[in-house]
A and B are shown apart, each in its own frame.
Chain A
């Protein structure tokens, strides 16, 4: 990236940003639904919506090319996100192809998970030696809190999806962002786990994630401030290794990006193939501050 571009991103000049090394391609993400979503959550860091076509959906043939390449590079696991992955009509065959090669996780809003789809997912899981995880987003303990972020009527639909998955014998990971303030503390966390047990998840799994001040979220709360940057930060080896960009990449229909977070930033596109992205990346973006300081990792 040219220096002036870096300066624009950072709002500073003559500042040194740390590079993150590429330690090995453990995790390959797929922006499998592009930026199209049937919801328009007010905290979405890439502003996905029914009308956002910034990133195109990936078809099974395109995914297959990267699955093969990632296999040759020693990939350990796959993640699928969007937008809403189950808007992709080939999602089940795509997952089947991934699960032949390694464990896979799908990040979904759950609203398209019917009893039939849950049964299909259970069958996929049973057919593979590898784990299939469904990660389902929820943003509050009740409809008022959740629907304010995810849209009217979504709370009920999400609960139905959890019920369908549980009935099929799948145990989704429930993802809650810190927009749900109650889930952050240990008491709120315990309450949410109890609520999930009531819904039929007898061993509930929960992941609480910090928010990224990008996309819709920048309008809902605030954008990153000038001081939120890794300029001048020296990363220890352990710091660097803990960042997801040290061991993962994001595949989109438009090429390979450094991570799942920065796909709206052209400077984060590192190449057309995975192999050509296996190099260090400068942590110039303000969102890098969230990953480093708050320990955000999009993996489960």
Chain B
């Protein structure tokens, strides 16, 4: 099994999870940089695990073909399609590593007769965000305007090459997983950087609908796609992956306890540009569009034909992320204390509608998944 992009949190976690699965002889990880010490600790699973080899190589060069041939790889999981580069934040370098890297990898796979299965990480960003598109995207929806640039365009191009590969190698089971915004206690994406700001700038007059996929679910979906499908399910083709339900940006901000600062769209664009230039926060134009118009995808295929129901719904995934964040300027506890205090002044008989002991909303108990 070959996993690309193990230098990142998600790749490292997924490689560790793969090694625990039965039937895995060897996991080979490749990336431009070796994982840092924190990730290495994460990648070292306790208990019995398959052996692991790491190769430091640049996917943009054809070296990956040698690795595939050397280890007789039969399953390739391509996670090195990412919005930000490892080490460099230069947009053209990121684009090159996404698109050229994918082309090199697919070329190597095509020449390797042993490859039986290819799993590619993509994003729901391929649907874009526009006011004139349907409210809920299914895998078949053709968006009215294709993403004009940035990571989403990379993903569209990557998917195009993957489709071409699937045509040329019909014997390989190909899965493209379109993930919604990935969150989790350790997730590190441009969107989670945005939510870490003390005051969240928003676009005046817009309250976008957002969907999140929890890291645990993402790893589980990747695992299921990497092995032959369970009876009665299909794990090839294109699948949207997101937790059930929707959160509005205003809801997210309130659940994080962070005040919002609504600004006119041009002002937000200007600030985002400034923040990008000063390397403060990387909010790309496509994220700005997401934070203006929002995006929701239909996950019926994931639940029904892929046969996986995400453990974390969108609000639960966000709550798990929020719990790991520092409390904002408007902590929930203080706000609820004010309303509860006022309600208590009204007296017990009037306050009964507020319910018994106030629970802290937005942080339900973390669901437990039985480890297989």
To the question of whether A and B form a pair in one complex, the answer is no
Question: A residues engaging B (CB < 8 A)?
Answer: none
Question: B residues engaging A (CB < 8 A)?
Answer: none
